[in-house]
Structure 1
Amino acid sequence: MIELARSTFNNWKKQLVSKEKVLHIEGLIQIIFEENDPNHGYRRINLTLVNRGYQINHKKIRQIMKKYNLVCTRLTHRSRSYRSYKGLVGTLAKIR
């Protein structure tokens, strides 16, 4: 029998459980990214996970996306141009 401190054993056991949880989350992130074409960045993936009942830090999501090279290609800042047109706003004066 190996003599270990109780805290060492519990820390080791906790790390094993967290690795399994991370693997599950990595799979979810990949599935969400593939479902939506490369349109979702880490913010939208985070919102989707919250809607599915998972509470994960955005930094962890970015780390996982970087690990698997999941990059949002369509909705980047450069792909969108500024549009200030809001349509007809307010009321028009009647013409006599």
Structure 2
Amino acid sequence: MAMVEKRATVILVHGAWAGGSSWANVIPPLRDLGLEVFAAPIPMTSLGDDVAALTRYLDRASAPVVLVGHAYAGEIIAEAVTHDEIAKHDPSGPTEITYEQ
């Protein structure tokens, strides 16, 4: 049986003035590449709640993880990294963290 290379899980995190649907044009091309993709809905109620929402999506992800954040999402991702939320899910850490404005 041939070994199949493990593909990354991409978690897209929206900014303060958007929702998960803002990634609608990004998700299909990534999935076409064979990647597992989630657009994490962030509640925007507090930074703690937003980090917790991201953590729930990390629970669903299989490593390696690529985190992509727009604007305020960079703060959410940075907070999750700072508090080792990501390390709990993948001790080697995320493969990539990308912030976009």
Query: Comparing both structures, which one devotes a greater share of its residues to helix?
Result: 1
Normalising by the residue count of structure 1, what TM-score does the alignment of the two structures yield?
A: 0.35
Query: Comparing both structures, which one devotes a greater share of its residues to strand?
Result: 2
Normalising by the residue count of structure 2, what TM-score does the alignment of the two structures yield?
A: 0.34
Larger radius of gyration: 1
Bigger RCO (CA 8 Å, 6+ sep): 2
